């Protein structure tokens, strides 16, 4: 898609709200605006019914039941509730080890540091290979040491698109008596997640990664796990006491509608179409003579919309600046409080700091066209030419 003439290739950062989703949300901003917790009148009842429908839609996306959905402000809050919410249970159970992969989302890694610093838990890293895949043998060995409370692994990496074998990872964790948390924010647009709760105890989701509105997400928590969680937000005791606060009716409706659109054969057809645009983009870059290296897994094991590319000798910041306002993409670097730093994901799979600084994530989505993929590749090739004066161009 184009936004004001800019080709948008940053769908893994956020997706545009699907028009079909916005249509479902619109009424809740006007006349269907009730507080779903107002239990004494019909307007509140209707709002509660809409929330129940949304919970069912979100639950169905991952094979859960509606009462296992805890709406949050997004996947970051869901990740925090999943990890920090288990701190008290760690004390009670005597299981004091937490295992996180080296390429988790920063919200998971930050929550892990809090568990270690404030609660004295043993938080250890599970290594990954150069493709970003979790070393399952290393994970099994760490689990066999005993005392593991929780394993937390991204289903699909947000930077390099690696798709993990969450069924095998969940089985390893379960066999060792550990809980398995899966940050699945990027997963629904990449793979079929219809049976994900069969392999996980806790699942984090985000609406704005699946063409729903920003500001809403969910932690899917098995019924048997919910009593183990200590809430982070206190108040009126909503959502089984696990997350107090008035639920944002329009956002919940939008989240549910977005989740429903990712069910069925049409979702697989969409992934195939997005993959074709991604592949066309890379093929065109190569045909234009750009020397690029894909960071992470092969395309068969990667998010269909993800192309994380290393262009040696070209700083990502310089290339992205040269592409404005033609193209929107993002560097492989994370930015915290405005301070750039090398991507921990790219460093974990073996890239040097300089290589990480020369890497860009192009991410394709539902509204990307083949023509835009071609146009974007040619724009990147032209920008590389301008920056390097042709010194790094080569015919492959």
Active site residue ranges: 335
Joined together, the tokens standing for residue 96 give 């004091």
Strands of 359-363's sheet in order across: 293-294, 306-310, 359-363, 330-331
CA–chain centroid gap for 351, Å, is 22
Residue in this structure with the two tokens 């709406």, named with its chain if needed? 71
Which residues contact residue 62 at a Cβ distance below 8 angstroms, ignoring those fewer than 6 apart? 184, 193, 194, 195, 196, 197, 203, 205, 220
**Contact at 8 Å (CB) between 314 and 380?**
no
Cα 138 to Cα 203: distance, rounded to the nearest angstrom: 23
**Contact at 8 Å (CB) between 83 and 181?**
yes
Listing DSSP states for 4-16 in one string gives: TTEEE-BTTT--P
Listing DSSP states for 196-257 in one string gives: GGGT-SEEEEEGGGTTS-TT-EEEEE-TTTGGGPPPSS-SS-TTTTTS-S---HHHHHHHHH
Bridge partners of residue 3, in order along the sequence: 6
Exposure pattern of 251-265 as b/e (b: 16+ CB <10 Å)? Answer: bbbbbbbbbbbbeee
Angle at 306 between CA 301 and CA 307, to 5 degrees: 100
User: Hey, CA dihedral for 58, 63, 69, 72, is it positive or negative?
Assistant: negative
**Contact at 8 Å (CB) between 18 and 371?**
no
CA–chain centroid gap for 88, Å, is 27
Exposure pattern of 66-102 as b/e (b: 16+ CB <10 Å)? Answer: eebbbbbbbbbbbbbbbbbbbbebbeeeebbbbbbbb
Shortest CA distance to 290 belongs to which of 369, 379, 159?
Answer: 379
Helices and strands counted in the chain (H then E): 13, 16
């Amino acid at each position: 898609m184009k936004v004001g003439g800019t080709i948008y290739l940053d769908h893994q950062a956020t997706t545009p709200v699907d028009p079909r989703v916005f249509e479902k949300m619109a009424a809740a901003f006007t006349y269907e605006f009730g507080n779903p917790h107002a239990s004494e009148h019909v307007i509140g009842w209707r709002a509660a019914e809409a929330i129940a429908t949304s919970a069912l839609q979100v639950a169905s996306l991952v094979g859960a039941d509606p009462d296992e959905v805890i709406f949050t402000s997004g996947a970051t809050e869901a990740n925090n509730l999943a990890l920090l919410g288990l701190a008290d249970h760690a004390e009670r159970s005597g299981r004091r080890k937490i295992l996180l992969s080296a390429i988790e989302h920063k919200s998971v890694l930050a929550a892990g540091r809090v568990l270690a610093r404030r609660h004295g838990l043993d938080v250890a890293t599970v290594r990954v290979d150069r493709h970003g895949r979790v070393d399952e043998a290393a994970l099994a060995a760490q689990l066999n040491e005993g005392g593991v409370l929780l394993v937390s692994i991204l289903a699909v990496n947000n930077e390099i698109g690696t798709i993990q074998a969450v069924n095998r990872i969940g089985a390893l964790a379960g066999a060792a008596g550990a809980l398995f948390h899966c940050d699945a924010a990027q997963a629904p647009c990449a793979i079929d997640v219809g049976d994900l709760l069969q392999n996980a105890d806790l699942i984090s989701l985000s609406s704005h990664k699946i063409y729903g509105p920003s500001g809403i997400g969910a932690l899917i928590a098995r019924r048997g796990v919910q009593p183990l969680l200590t809430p982070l937000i206190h108040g009126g005791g909503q959502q089984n006491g696990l997350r107090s606060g008035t639920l944002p009716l329009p956002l919940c409706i939008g989240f549910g509608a977005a989740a429903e659109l990712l069910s069925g054969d049409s979702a697989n057809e969409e992934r195939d179409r997005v993959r074709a645009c991604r592949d066309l983009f890379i093929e065109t870059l190569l045909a234009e003579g750009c020397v690029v290296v894909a960071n992470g897994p092969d395309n068969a094991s990667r998010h269909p919309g993800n192309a994380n590319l290393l262009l040696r000798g070209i700083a990502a910041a310089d290339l992205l600046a040269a592409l404005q306002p033609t193209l929107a993409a993002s560097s492989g670097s994370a930015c915290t409080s405005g301070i750039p730093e090398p991507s921990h994901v790219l460093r974990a799979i073996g890239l040097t700091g300089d290589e990480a600084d020369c890497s860009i994530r192009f991410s394709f989505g539902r509204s990307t066209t083949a023509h835009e993929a071609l146009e974007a590749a040619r724009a990147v090739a032209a920008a590389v030419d301008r920056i390097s004066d042709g010194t790094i161009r080569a015919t492959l």
